[in-house]
A and B are shown apart, each in its own frame.
Chain A
Amino acid sequence: DVKVTQSSRYLVKRTGEKVFLECVQDMDHENMFWYRQDPGLGLRLIYFSYDVKMKEKGDIPEGYSVSREKKERFSLILESASTNQTSMYLCASSSSGTNTDTQYFGPGTRLTVL
């Protein structure tokens, strides 16, 4: 079974803090993704990576950065957290470069920024 794990299920941070969300997958997938899920807006892509040290912006990259130093790990960084970044963050991975391959999701991290 594919397993995608995220470092925290729930996180509370203060405005201005630097926040790290970690994601690890155990299936040797090339591609990894970070989404946020907000009520009424569905899942929106923040960043994705198709190889180690490679990254591409998704639909809403502003205020975020990412790091992929190892194939199995993809980190999302909020440089200076703001209240409008309160959301559910979902990490996903897939095995090739096209979207005909299924993306497998982690359980999500619910981040609250006060």
Chain B
Amino acid sequence: DQQVKQNSPSLSVQEGRISILNCDYTNSMFDYFLWYKKYPAEGPTFLISISSIKDKNEDGRFTVFLNKSAKHLSLHIVPSQPGDSAVYFCAASETGANNLFFGTGTRLTVIP
């Protein structure tokens, strides 16, 4: 059973606008969340993370929001650029465990 879900397989956004990628999780023991970006023919690269003690973490154009009560996190990209076009994976983990649980990914296309 998928413990981390990304319900939108794809998203298209105009260049300069905001991209919002969503992720839901079911395991209330998860306390650390990450976003990875993956270009074709490359491995995923770490983008941004957030601990459950925070509800927001910002790094340049990328902001991750965490809503623990809703078991939901989102990644905001502002402004979106064509180079942001990639597949984005949400991942979650629990303190003390070695596993990362990944979502199924959302393919973002930023249209010039």
Decide whether A and B assemble into one complex. Answer: yes
Pair B45/A105 contact, Cβ less than 8 Å: yes
| Stretch of A14-22, A70-78, A95-103 that contacts chain B | A95-103
- Knowing A104-B46, A105-B45, say if A50 contacts B98 (CB, 8 Å): yes
Check: A106 CB closer than 8 A to any chain B CB.
yes
Check: B93 CB closer than 8 A to any chain A CB.
yes
Residues of chain A within 8 A (CB-CB) of B41 are 9, 107-108
Check: A113 CB closer than 8 A to any chain B CB.
no
Q: 1/0 per residue B28-57: CB within 8 Å of A?
A: 000010101000011111100101000000
Check: A43 CB closer than 8 A to any chain B CB.
yes
Say what secondary structure dominates the interface of chain B.
loop
Pair B43/A106 contact, Cβ less than 8 Å: yes
Check: B25 CB closer than 8 A to any chain A CB.
no
Residues of chain B within 8 A (CB-CB) of A103 are 46, 100
Residues of chain A within 8 A (CB-CB) of B102 are 35, 42-44
Chain B's closest residue to A49 (CB) is: B98
Question: What is the minimal beta-carbon distance from A13 to any residue of chain B, in angstroms?
Answer: 20
| Total number of B residues with any Cβ neighbor in A under 8 Å | 29
| A residues at B contact (CB < 8 Å) | 4, 9, 31, 35, 40-45, 48, 50, 56, 58-59, 90-92, 97-100, 102-108
Interchain Cβ contacts under 8 Å between A and B, 15 examples: A42-B89, A42-B103, A42-B104, A42-B105, A45-B99, A48-B99, A58-B99, A90-B44, A99-B93, A99-B94, A99-B99, A103-B46, A105-B36, A106-B43, A108-B42
Further 16 A-B residue pairs, CB within 8 A, beyond A42-B6, A42-B89, A104-B46: A43-B102, A48-B99, A59-B99, A90-B43, A92-B43, A98-B95, A99-B32, A99-B94, A99-B95, A99-B97, A99-B100, A100-B32, A100-B49, A102-B34, A102-B46, A105-B44
| B residues at A contact (CB < 8 Å) | 2, 4, 6, 9, 32, 34, 36, 41-46, 49, 51, 89, 91, 93-100, 102-105
